[in-house]
Amino acid sequence: MELTPTSTIDLDDGLEWEDIQATSETNDLINQVKALGDPTIGDRKIDLIYVKKINTSDPFGAYGAAVPDFATVSPWMWDENHTRTCIFGSTSTSGNFPLSNRPFATAHEMGHVLTNHGHYAVDYSMNETNQQAFYNLMRGGGTSTTNSVYSSKRLWPNNLAEEDQIDMIRTATDIPQE
């Protein structure tokens, strides 16, 4: 479904984004998308929003961003009604590279919502090698730019990590697993 934003949102130059709390532009956009939702489903869904570009102060830029359930507790200050939202820019922050250069970006951002965790090797207990972290879908610093056996597209079961990422998807949210 395509949304025609109200006049309070100007997405022509990209969406303003801050990790710790929503900008007024981000708040307005998420409010409008959530208002389109099916009230019988409630918050047991993930809203995916695609914009031209995400403007962020992150020096690495951003292809995507997520608001998982944990983003409502300190130090984050997101509105509880905005959780379970992923936003994607069709180009990188610099505008030089299309989202198609990041084939795992959508799965990565949805992974934040489904596991209710941040980046692998930062927000997880770890006992594995750096090599395993490099191949993990939830690694920080961006996902792989190509699909190969060496790509960052894996989630680890508990025999390879202290925390079972597969089990997290089953237990971290009340989103139906059908």
Answer yes or no: do 75 and 36 share one domain: yes
Q: Do the beta carbons of residue 142 and residue 151 sit within 8 Å?
A: no
* 92 lies in the same domain as 132: no
Token pair in block for residue 98: 């299309």
Same-domain pairing of 88 and 38: yes
Question: Same domain, yes or no, for 21 and 88?
Answer: yes
The pLDDT of 86-104, averaged and rounded, is 77
Which tens digits make up the pLDDT trace of 96-111?
A: 677 777 889 999 999 9
Of 74, 101, 128, the residue at which a domain comes to its end is: 101
Per-residue pLDDT tens over the stretch 119-149:
876 666 555 555 677 788 988 878 888 899 8
| Number of domains the chain contains | 2
Q: For residue 131, what are the domain limits?
A: 102-172
What lies within 8 Å, CB to CB, of 64 at 6+ separation is 54, 86, 87, 88, 89, 102, 105, 106, 108, 109
How many whole angstroms separate alpha carbon 158 and alpha carbon 123?
16
Q: Is 177 among the domain residues?
A: no
